[in-house]
């Protein structure tokens, strides 16, 4: 029996390269009356509606006009056990971790609590148009199991890992160099490559790992080059000063990771705001990826990410929400705040590059552009349906919008989950179908 085919009809927008300026029409396909033919979780074809309807007359047609069909959004850094600490008042990074975040994460020792929160987490992501994310779980193995099981239940391509942390946190939140290694190893064996799941080896950051633990993390990276590696780098001045105290031998913050063999092109470095010239050289040489987290950087008062400076060095920057220091699950709101952070530095984030970034750009940062981030035939059917008139304010603004770029900029600045008319994960709608 041939699998059921679905034809999604709408205004198809699909990037094939990073747009260099607002007029760079060669970087994307835009099909006004377009369609995507989907079956078995995959995109079989992209084209004009008329052509694909003739090609697949038996397909069920779902008409999303006048909305835009785009690849699902990709969030490259956030924390699943922080769903109930977003919007916690008043502190910068280290106090915020100690006062709110660490106590909260101790609750994820409980498998039932982890499972309940993992369900909410996945549902929030898809409600906001995010179909792939790279998340930190808590130190507890049970939290990572809950995370991957919830992703598998929805057939989502999700990346994650249990944090390794063995000092400078409450007792209920500490592993040891050996247990952190063993638990990570068992999770990799069970979840990496199972369905759409992928594992990220996750030493939380320099402050919460002993040198012995980072050495064990380095062994894991060597034994599992197929896995991602994620951590935090140079987010906050007090964090940087404390790291220098804890690692007096290190040349700089990044060297703490580099000297343990963690720095490869599979490494995602959350924040990377206050960097030394040597650290930037090392990022450029290794192909590791800094991750820009705009709403978080503003919320914690961490600083201004130098997107243009790093890009000029040939470095590929990813972009992310960083829930729960980030204040929105929405990659649209992330672009909004990102635009403003770049404005403060006289840098520009035009809407074509912005939408490329949260789709194909983040997929490229993950080395997954052959699977997600575009609407190419043969890729996975993770698709978002965007409504630029979702709220009264957006509708009023749209009455004066004349170009696709203007419409995208309205979505970038004013959009949130209300602008997500539907999200398809592996071809299945995740929002109620009206
Ligand atoms: N650095 C170490 N852990 C964290 C975290 O949970 N959130 C943020 N924003 N920075 C961190
Ligand atoms: Zn983080």
C-beta of 162 in contact with ligand 1 (< 6 A): no
C-beta of 231 in contact with ligand 1 (< 6 A): no
Cis peptide preceding 347, ω within 30 of 0: no
* Alpha carbon 382 to chain centroid, angstroms: 14
In the reported structure, the alpha carbon of residue 97 is separated from the centroid of ligand 1 by a whole-number distance in angstroms of: 7
What is the DSSP code string of 237-276?
A: HHHHHHHHHH-TT-SSHHHHHHTTT--STTEEEEE--S--
- Atom 11, ligand 1: which residue's CA is nearest? 232
117's CB contacts (< 8 A; 6+ apart) are 80, 81, 83, 84, 108, 146
Could you tell me which of 303, 330, 306 has the C-alpha nearest to residue 317?
Answer: 306
- C-alpha 154/C-alpha 212 separation (Å) is 37
In the reported structure, the alpha carbon of residue 398 is separated from the centroid of ligand 1 by a whole-number distance in angstroms of: 38
CB 117 within 8 A of CB 58: no
Ligand nearest to the CA of 85: 1
- C-alpha 281/C-alpha 184 separation (Å) is 30
- C-alpha 209/C-alpha 296 separation (Å) is 23
C-beta of 105 in contact with ligand 1 (< 6 A): no
Atom of ligand 1 nearest to the CA of 79: 6
C-beta of 322 in contact with ligand 1 (< 6 A): yes
CB 370 within 8 A of CB 157: no
C-beta of 79 in contact with ligand 1 (< 6 A): yes
Helices (H) and strands (E) in the chain, counts: 17, 16
- C-alpha 159/C-alpha 192 separation (Å) is 9
Ligand nearest to the CA of 322: 2
Could you tell me which of 425, 402, 406 has the C-alpha nearest to residue 414?
Answer: 406
Atom of ligand 1 nearest to the CA of 205: 2
| Strand-strand pairing, 130-136 and 73-79 | parallel
Helix, strand, or coil (residue 198): strand
CB 211 within 8 A of CB 250: no
pLDDT (tens, 9 = 90+) of the chain, 434 residues, equals: 678 999 999 999 999 999 999 889 999 999 999 999 999 999 999 999 999 999 999 999 999 999 999 999 999 999 999 999 999 998 999 999 999 999 999 999 999 999 999 999 999 999 999 999 999 999 999 999 999 999 999 999 999 999 999 999 999 999 999 999 999 999 999 999 999 999 999 999 999 999 999 999 999 999 999 999 999 999 999 999 999 999 999 999 999 999 999 999 999 999 999 999 999 999 999 999 999 999 999 999 999 999 999 999 999 999 999 999 999 999 999 999 999 999 999 999 999 999 999 999 999 999 999 999 999 999 999 999 999 999 999 999 999 999 999 999 999 999 999 999 999 999 999 998 87
Ligand nearest to the CA of 300: 1
In the reported structure, the alpha carbon of residue 76 is separated from the centroid of ligand 2 by a whole-number distance in angstroms of: 10
Identify the pLDDT of residue 1.
Answer: 62
- Calculate helix-pair angle for 141-153, 111-127, nearest 10 degrees: 40
Instruction: Please give the model's pTM, rounded to 2 decimal places.
Output: 0.98
Ligand 1 pocket: which of 242, 274, 303, 325 to mutate (most atoms <8 Å of CB)? 325
C-beta of 101 in contact with ligand 1 (< 6 A): yes
Identify the pLDDT of residue 6.
Answer: 98
């Amino acid at each position: 029996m041939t699998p059921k085919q679905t034809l999604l009809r709408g205004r198809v927008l699909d990037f094939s390269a990073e747009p260099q300026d607002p007029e760079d029409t060669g970087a994307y396909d835009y099909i006004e009356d377009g369609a995507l033919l989907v079956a078995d979780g995959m995109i079989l074809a992209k084209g004009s509606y008329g052509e694909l309807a003739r090609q697949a007359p038996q397909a069920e047609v779902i008409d999303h006009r006048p909305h835009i069909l785009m690849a699902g959004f990709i969030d490259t850094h956030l924390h699943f056990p922080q769903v109930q600490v977003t919007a916690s008042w008043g502190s910068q990074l280290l106090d915020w971790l100690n006062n709110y975040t660490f106590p909260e994460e101790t609750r994820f020792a409980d498998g039932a609590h982890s499972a309940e929160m993992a369900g909410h987490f996945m549902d929030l992501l898809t409600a906001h148009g995010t179909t792939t994310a790279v998340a930190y779980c808590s130190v507890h193995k049970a939290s990572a199991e809950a995370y991957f099981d919830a992703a598998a239940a929805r057939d989502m391509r999700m990346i994650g890992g249990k944090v390794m942390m063995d000092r400078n946190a409450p007792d209920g939140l500490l592993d040891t160099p050996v247990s952190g290694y063993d638990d990570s190893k068992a999770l990799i064996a069970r979840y990496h490559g199972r369905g759409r799941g992928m594992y990220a080896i996750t030493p939380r950051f320099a402050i919460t790992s002993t040198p012995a633990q980072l050495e064990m993390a380095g062994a894991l990276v060597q034994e599992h080059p197929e896995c991602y590696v994620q951590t935090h780098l140079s987010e906050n001045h007090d964090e940087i000063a404390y790291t220098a105290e804890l690692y007096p031998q290190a040349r700089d913050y990044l060297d703490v990771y580099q000297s343990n063999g963690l720095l490869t092109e599979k490494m995602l470095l959350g924040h990377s705001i206050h960097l030394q010239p040597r650290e930037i050289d090392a990022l450029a040489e290794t192909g590791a990826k800094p991750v820009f987290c705009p709403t978080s950087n503003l919320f914690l008062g961490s600083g201004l990410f130098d997107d243009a400076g790093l890009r000029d060095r040939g470095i590929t920057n990813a972009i992310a929400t960083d829930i729960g220091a980030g204040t929105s699950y929405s990659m649209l709101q992330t672009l909004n705040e990102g635009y403003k952070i770049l404005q403060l530095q006289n840098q520009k984030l035009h809407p074509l590059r912005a939408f490329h970034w949260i789709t194909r750009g983040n997929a490229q940062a993950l080395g997954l552009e052959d699977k997600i981030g575009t609407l190419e035939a043969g890729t996975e059917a993770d698709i978002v349906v965007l409504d630029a008139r979702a709220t009264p304010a957006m509708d009023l603004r749209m009455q004066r919008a004349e170009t696709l770029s203007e419409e995208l900029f309205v979505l970038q600045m004013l959009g949130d989950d209300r602008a997500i008319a539907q999200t398809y994960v592996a071809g299945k709608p995740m929002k109620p179908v009206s």
